[in-house]
C-alpha cells in the first residue's frame, strides 16, 4: 500500500488525475488546489463545472484550513459519525475556484479508510473525490464496474483493493449553513 500511496501522490503533485479506492466508492482524484487538474476531472466525467465536487482530508483539523468559519456543530458531527459523512460548508477557501459550488461552498469528508486516509496524510492537501463514472451513469462500487473510458483517461490507476468485491455505500451528505442550520441532503 505504501508504494501505491507514494506513486499516487507523485502523480497528483505533477497535476495528474488518479483512479483510487476511497472510504465509499472508487473515485477520481487530484490535487484539490490545482484548477487545471480539477478541470481535467470535469472533462473526464463529462460533467458541467457548475456542479461542485467534494474533497477528502485525513483529519478534522484540516477542515479549518479549507473553510473560513466552521460552525461548531461540525466538530460534533465529524466526531460522532459512524459511517462516511460529507459535510457541505459555506465559505470555502484555499481550494481551486472551479471546484466550488456557485455559492462558494464545498463538500469535505474526513476519511478514516486505510488507503484514502494515508493518501491524504502523505499528500498533505485536500484531494478531489468524485465517483469514477461518466456524469449521469452509475458510480462504481467495485473496480470491475469502472468503464474502460474512465480507466483510459486517468494518469494513474491505484492497484490497491482492485479485487475487493464489497459494495460500500455512498456517504451521507449534510449541508451546514452559517449559523449552524443543518440540512440532510442524503442519509
Per DSSP, which regions of 46-158 are E strands? 54-57, 85-89, 106-110, 127-131, 156-157
Entry pTM = 0.94
Q: What is the CATH number of the domain that holds 152?
A: 3.90.870.10
Find out whether 78 and 110 touch, Cβ atoms under 8 Å: yes
Angstrom CA distances, 169 to 99, 104, 145, stand at 23, 27, 14
pLDDT value, residue 156: 98
pLDDT value, residue 139: 81
CA 35 to chain centre: 15
Q: From the first residue on, what is the mean pLDDT of each consecutive set of 10 residues in the chain (187 residues)? A: 95 98 93 98 88 93 95 91 93 96 95 95 97 89 93 97 84 86 88
pLDDT value, residue 65: 97
Work out how many domains the chain is built from and give that number.
1
Q: What are the cell numbers at 96? A: 481551486
Distance, CA of 159 to CA of 94 (rounded, Å) = 30
pLDDT value, residue 102: 92
pLDDT value, residue 115: 95
pLDDT value, residue 66: 98
Identify the domain containing residue 90 by its residue range: 2-186
Amino acid at each position: 500500500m505504501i508504494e501505491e500511496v507514494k506513486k499516487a501522490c507523485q502523480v497528483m503533485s505533477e497535476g495528474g488525475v488518479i483512479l483510487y479506492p476511497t472510504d465509499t466508492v472508487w473515485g477520481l482524484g487530484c490535487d484539490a488546489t490545482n484548477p487545471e487538474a480539477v478541470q481535467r476531472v470535469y472533462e473526464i466525467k463529462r460533467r458541467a463545472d457548475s456542479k461542485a465536487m467534494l474533497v477528502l482530508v485525513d483529519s478534522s483539523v484540516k477542515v479549518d484550513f479549507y473553510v473560513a468559519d466552521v460552525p461548531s456543530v461540525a466538530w460534533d458531527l465529524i466526531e460522532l459519525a459512524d459511517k462516511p459523512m460529507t459535510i457541505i460548508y459555506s465559505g470555502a477557501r484555499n481550494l481551486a475556484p472551479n471546484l466550488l459550488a456557485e455559492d462558494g461552498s464545498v463538500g469535505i469528508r474526513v476519511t478514516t479508510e486505510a488507503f484514502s486516509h494515508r493518501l491524504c496524510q502523505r499528500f498533505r492537501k485536500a484531494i478531489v473525490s468524485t465517483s469514477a463514472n461518466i456524469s449521469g451513469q452509475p458510480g462504481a462500487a467495485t473496480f470491475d464496474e469502472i468503464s474502460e473510458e474512465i480507466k483510459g483517461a486517468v494518469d494513474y490507476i491505484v492497484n490497491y483493493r482492485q479485487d475487493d468485491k464489497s459494495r460500500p455505500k455512498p456517504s451521507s451528505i449534510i449541508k451546514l449553513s452559517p449559523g449552524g442550520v443543518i440540512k440532510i441532503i442524503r442519509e
